[in-house]
Amino acid sequence: MYVNQSQLWDFSLVSQIRKNLDLVQNKFTRQLMVRRISPAADYPVLQTLCRIKHRNLMEIYDVKTQDGVCISLCEYINGMTLDMRVEYYQPFDIRSAKDILCQICDGLSQLHINGIVHRDIKPGNVMITDDGMVKIIDYSISRLIKPEQRKDTTVLGTAGYASPEQFGFTQTNGKTDIYACGVLLNYLLTGKLPNEQLHQGPLTTVIQQCIEIDENKRFASADELKKVLQGKKINRRRPFRPLPGFRSKHVFPKIITVFFYIVWIFMLFVYINGFPMIMSSSLKNIIQQLILMADILVFWSALPYLLFGDVFRMSERINPDNPRNGKYVLRILGTASIILGFVLIFVSLYL
């Protein structure tokens, strides 16, 4: 039954859930709703949430400010929170835990797309309905992401689930919720926080990557976390990557790189133009020049570029769980190729 805005706010009080949170019933549709009273500063984020409709998110029907406070009407969810489910029964098996996390990731993706970070993902703020649907609830400390802001104005979050950036180090973003997802996943599997008992099994590396202190080492998005949980490959390739040497934020490495490329192109030009003269020389001279040309093109240029630059993301293929270790391998091989290049020079000179 359709109701207009004035009819939506015509309800009767059923019971008080807790302070500033009431269960109400609409007089026209008889639908149960939750009325929440919060600070007026919550209005912008709640107004944005009103426009988001997703099966894994508690719906906000409407919001208004009145007498210096913000009043919102929210979806009433008939079900059980995850902490109640684990407490009354037992931790989830791996398959069920992955399914719950995947649904949470779907809900978070919608929040993040709309510029909202939840900031309080925990077992008490996720419900499972009677028909098995997962719902993220409680947007009391959610906020709009402000790219120009260095850190949050208020330090909020639940101990154990709050990421380091929630303690005022940097601004919270989507990766803040990724951190909490890792802690939550561990709780679903063990009933404990990671620092109390870390899950030992196929999802250990997933949990560890979620709760990395450095947010840049966590999963890039909720969608990426979901793909990993589903066993799908992640493609982290960017549409364009700067050439090796130009990826540094400092000027000096870029100057050295420009000089190297100029010398390389000049030497290549000289060899191409001088190739007919080389072919008219003695066999020994031809072999020396060909070795030197191959040396410059392959062992000093192509291989170091591919290895040091990690052009095809080879580090992820060498070690999918820890690409940083894969990069160390590439650097060793790149250095070895340059050393081999020097060896070939001496071989060609004394041939």
What pLDDT, on the 0 to 100 scale, is given for residue 117?
Answer: 92
Range of the domain at 316: 251-349
What pLDDT, on the 0 to 100 scale, is given for residue 150?
Answer: 45
What pLDDT, on the 0 to 100 scale, is given for residue 133?
Answer: 94
From 23, 41, 75, give the residue that closes a domain. Answer: 75
What pLDDT, on the 0 to 100 scale, is given for residue 298?
Answer: 80
- CA distances 179 to 102, 207, 316, Å, are 15, 9, 22
- Rounded to whole angstroms, the Cα distance separating 215 from 209 reads 9
281 and 296 both lie in a single domain: yes
User: Does residue 316 form part of some domain?
Assistant: yes
68 and 97 both lie in a single domain: no
Residue entry with tokens 């009080």: 13
Could you give the number of structural domains in the chain?
3
- Rounded to whole angstroms, the Cα distance separating 8 from 5 reads 5
User: Does residue 242 form part of some domain?
Assistant: no
Neighbours of 40 (CB within 10 A): 13
From 36, 55, 75, give the residue that closes a domain. Answer: 75
pTM for this predicted structure: 0.66
What pLDDT, on the 0 to 100 scale, is given for residue 146?
Answer: 62
> Could you tell me the pLDDT band of residue 148, with boundaries at 50, 70 and 90?
very low
Lowest mean pLDDT among 166-170, 189-193, 250-254: 166-170
What pLDDT, on the 0 to 100 scale, is given for residue 239?
Answer: 46
